[in-house]
């Protein structure tokens, strides 16, 4: 199978270089860019994010990333969101009472964790969904989290005969939240696979194996 061509969206997020290196180590050909044609033509698009919901969303929109994500998903082309890159896929984010509309790929709201210690920073196990491809072979491993906000409910219902999204959960201080979602072409993790050692590398490799290989010139 040809090597997967992946674009990491260059929207100003602070952790992009580590994401690029981790994807390369997992076997992908990786480019860091916000170029529209390259992002649309890639086998996979990765949307990283650190910091606040509103600020990250503004960065993504500033390079046209919202339109790139929408168009790729409309054509069934895979997208992977990481950390705040997961959060912005929901309808709204609540940053200390300031509600910001998200990209609206999933219903629901991102809110502050309700735990004695916030932010949630460090290694944590997850509870993968049955049938998960993303966590194949690593269901019992720990992953690295750094966040104060999370989606704490899943509100999307199965539509007709379409496969139901696979939702993976984690817990911090008794507060249960969404750790990952596998929803057709759209996949996202609240944790940082690029900072999660061997388990994160395996997860990225699992995602890369799901990517269709498109002709270099193809743009849907």
What's the CATH code of the domain at 82?
3.40.50.880
Task: Exactly one of 11, 120, 147, 192 is catalytic; name it.
Answer: 192
Q: How many domains does the chain have?
A: 1
With a pLDDT cut of 70, the percent of the chain lying above it is: 96
- Examine the pLDDT at 220 and tell me if it is beyond 60: no
The reply to whether 107 falls in a domain is: yes
First to last CA, the chain: 21
Is residue 147 part of the annotated active site? The answer reads no
As a whole number of angstroms, the distance between CA 60 and CA 74 comes to: 18
157 belongs to the catalytic site: no
Contact 146, 48 (CB under 8 A): no
pTM for this prediction? 0.95
Beta pairing, strands 142-147 & 120-125: antiparallel
Task: Give the pLDDT score at 219.
Answer: 56
* 61-81 pLDDT, tens digit each: 999 999 999 999 999 999 999
pLDDT at 153: 95
C-alpha span between 95 and 102 (Å, rounded): 12
User: Does the active-site annotation cover 192?
Assistant: yes
Q: What is the pLDDT of residue 162?
A: 66
Catalytic residue among 31, 136, 194, 217: 194
Residue 163 pLDDT: 72
In a domain, 92, yes or no: yes
How far is it, in rounded angstroms, from Cα 78 to Cα 42? 9
For 43, the domain range is 5-210
Task: Look at residue 161 and tell me if it is in a domain.
Answer: yes
Catalytic site residue from 83, 120, 147, 182:
83
Residue 215 forms part of a structural domain: no
């Amino acid at each position: 199978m040809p090597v997967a061509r992946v674009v990491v969206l260059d929207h100003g997020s602070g952790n992009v270089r580590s994401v690029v290196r981790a994807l390369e180590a997992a076997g992908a050909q990786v480019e860091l860019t916000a170029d529209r044609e390259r992002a649309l033509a890639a086998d996979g698009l990765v949307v990283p994010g650190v910091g606040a919901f509103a600020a990250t969303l503004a960065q993504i929109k500033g390079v046209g990333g919202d339109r790139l994500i929408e168009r790729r998903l409309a054509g069934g082309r895979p997208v992977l969101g990481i950390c705040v890159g997961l959060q912005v896929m929901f309808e709204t984010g609540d940053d200390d009472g300031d509600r910001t509309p998200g990209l609206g790929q999933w219903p629901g709201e991102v809110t502050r964790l309700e735990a004695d210690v916030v932010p949630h920073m460090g290694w944590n196990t997850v509870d993968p969904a049955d049938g998960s491809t993303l966590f194949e072979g690593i269901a019992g491993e720990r992953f690295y989290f750094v966040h104060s906000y999370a989606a704490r409910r899943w509100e999307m219902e199965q539509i007709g005969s379409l496969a139901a999204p696979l939702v993976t959960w984690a817990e911090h201080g008794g507060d249960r939240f969404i750790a990952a979602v596998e929803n057709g072409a759209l996949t996202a993790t609240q944790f940082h696979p690029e900072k999660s050692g061997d388990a994160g590398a395996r997860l990225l490799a699992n995602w890369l194996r799901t990517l269709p290989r498109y002709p270099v010139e193809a743009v849907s």
